[in-house]
Amino acid sequence: MYLYGASGHAKVIKDALESQGIKVLGLVDDDPQVESLDGMPVLHSAEGLSPVIVSVGNCVARRKIVEGLGNVAFGTAIHRSAIVSLSATVEEGSVVMAGAILQPCVHLGRHSIVNTGASVDHDCIVGDFVHIAPHCTLCGNVTVGEGTWIGAGTTVIQGVKIGKNCCIGAGSLVLKDIPDGCVAYGSPCRIKENGSYEK
């Protein structure tokens, strides 16, 4: 497996892969000044490398990199301490970190992140290029639109729908649906900006 993006997020994905006995064969980064990470040399071109996981936490940057890579094979990373139901689906490029839980009939879209200790309950649908930050709780039947960032420690109650390209601030309690493109935070969560978010 190759990781595109040589930063702290890459360290966590590398750890998840190694916990399953999967070796990271190389790291790639666009920044020519980044020469190594954790003692591992960093390459500056992904040409001919496969499979790849894009190890960048920022949702917009991750999408741009994936689109720029073109027709390559993408892998997944699931830490051995994660609990993933046999009926859950994890699409290509996505990662599930240490202590995370995906309950029955969860669908995790392409190139998404369920970070450390996050819990995604039954029948949740998480879109492509989403980041569920550490220790979030998504109760049952929650929908999260593509490109959305849900900040650390947030709780989303059952049945709520969060739109595309939203940012939900850390520690929020989401009790109602959030439309596309919103910045929202608080307990209870309230919309602060609408239609302008790009993370």
Listed residues 69, 99, 116: the one ending a domain: 69
Domain limit, last residue, from 69, 96, 121: 69
Amino acid identity for residue 56 in this structure: V
* Residue 79 annotated among the catalytic residues of the structure: no
Same domain, 106 and 160: yes
Which segments within 30-144 are labelled E, that is strand? 36-37, 40-43, 52-54, 77-78, 83-84, 89-90, 95-96, 101-102, 107-108, 113-114, 119-120, 125-126, 131-132, 137-138, 143-144
172 in the same domain as 148? yes
The verdict on residue 199 lying in a domain is no
Catalytic residue among 79, 111, 122, 131: 122
Domain count, the chain: 2
SS3 content of the chain, % helix, strand, coil (to 5): 10, 30, 60
Q: What is the pLDDT along the chain (199 residues), one digit of tens a residue?
A: 999 999 999 999 999 999 999 999 999 998 888 888 888 889 888 888 899 999 999 999 999 999 999 889 999 999 999 999 999 999 999 999 999 999 999 999 999 999 999 999 999 999 999 999 999 999 999 999 999 999 999 999 999 999 999 999 999 999 999 999 999 999 999 998 765 544 4
- Is residue 134 in a domain? yes
CATH of the domain at 52: 3.40.50.20
Q: What per-residue confidence (pLDDT) applies to 199?
A: 43
In a domain, 155, yes or no: yes
Q: Which residues of 21-47 are buried (b: 16+ CB within 10 A; e: fewer)?
A: eeebebbbbeeeeeeebeeeebeeebe
Whole-number pLDDT of residue 32 = 87
Q: Which domain holds residue 127?
A: 77-194
Is 179 inside any structural domain? yes
Cα separation, 187 vs 199, whole angstroms: 22
Tell me whether residue 103 is in a domain.
yes
CATH number of the domain that residue 183 is part of: 2.160.10.10
pLDDT score recorded for residue 195:
57
Based on the fold, state whether residues 42 and 104 are members of the same structural domain: no
For residue 6, being part of any structural domain is answered with yes
